[in-house]
Amino acid sequence: MDERALSREDVLEIRAEDCPMMVFSYGIGDFISAAIVTKTHGFYNHFMWLLEPGVLATQDWWFRKIPVEKYLDRHLLKFVYGINWGPEERAKITASIEADLARPWYQNIYDLPAIVGQMLDIKWLQTPGIEICSDKAKHLNDPDYTLKHANPTDVNIYTKTCGKYAVYGRFRPD
């Protein structure tokens, strides 16, 4: 599928057989979003998964499912998929994300020390067993994906340069 501009309706109508998809986000007018993209020299400050139609798996204060509608008013979104993902690979990725979501709440809280580490370029500063949003790229099930303590820009660059992923579409609110 060629990359395209997605309307609100297009995002809400992404089919189950096209999920999961990686989603990169930028919060328009948000100070923290701007600070992150400035620091990382990127375009996106957040990474998450479109797990099923209309449902994101996102690492905010804790890793959880939320309606995609929560991101459609003030966020730029980029949807990315694996060009060789068939039903079996998609099912493996979905199962991995679901297993992560099922972990106890105290293992799914946001790793605040890691944010400090990212800001200070001390990427290894991270609480063991706790993650930030871009750590959730581990669900790619991609043997070539070896990034550790990545930020959303690192993940975005990987998906653009490795030849395994394509952009489904981009959403910009009206």
- Number of structural domains the chain divides into: 1
pLDDT (0 to 100) of residue 107: 81
Output Rg (C-alpha) for the chain, integer angstroms.
Answer: 15
- Residues contacting residue 113 through CB under 8 Å, at least 6 positions apart: 125, 126, 127
Contact residues for 16 (Cβ-Cβ < 8 A; gap 6+): 52, 53
Q: pTM here? A: 0.89
Tell me which of 7-11, 30-34, 62-66, 91-95 is least confident. Answer: 30-34
- Quick check: 119 and 39 in contact, CB under 8 A? yes
Per-chain mean pLDDT for the chain: 87
Residue 38 is part of which domain span? 5-171
Q: What is the pLDDT of residue 27?
A: 81
Checking if the pLDDT of 126 tops 70, the result is no
pLDDT tens per residue across span 133-159: 788 999 998 999 999 878 899 999 999
CATH number, position 65: 3.90.1720.10
Angle of helix 152-161 relative to helix 31-40, nearest 10 degrees?
A: 50
Confidence of residue 102 (pLDDT cuts 50, 70, 90): very high
What is the pLDDT, as a whole number, of residue 113? 55
Cβ–Cβ < 8 Å for 78, 23: yes
Distance, C-alpha 161 to centroid of its chain: 17
Taking residues 72-101, report their average pLDDT: 96
- Give residue 41's pLDDT band: very low, low, confident or very high (50, 70, 90): low
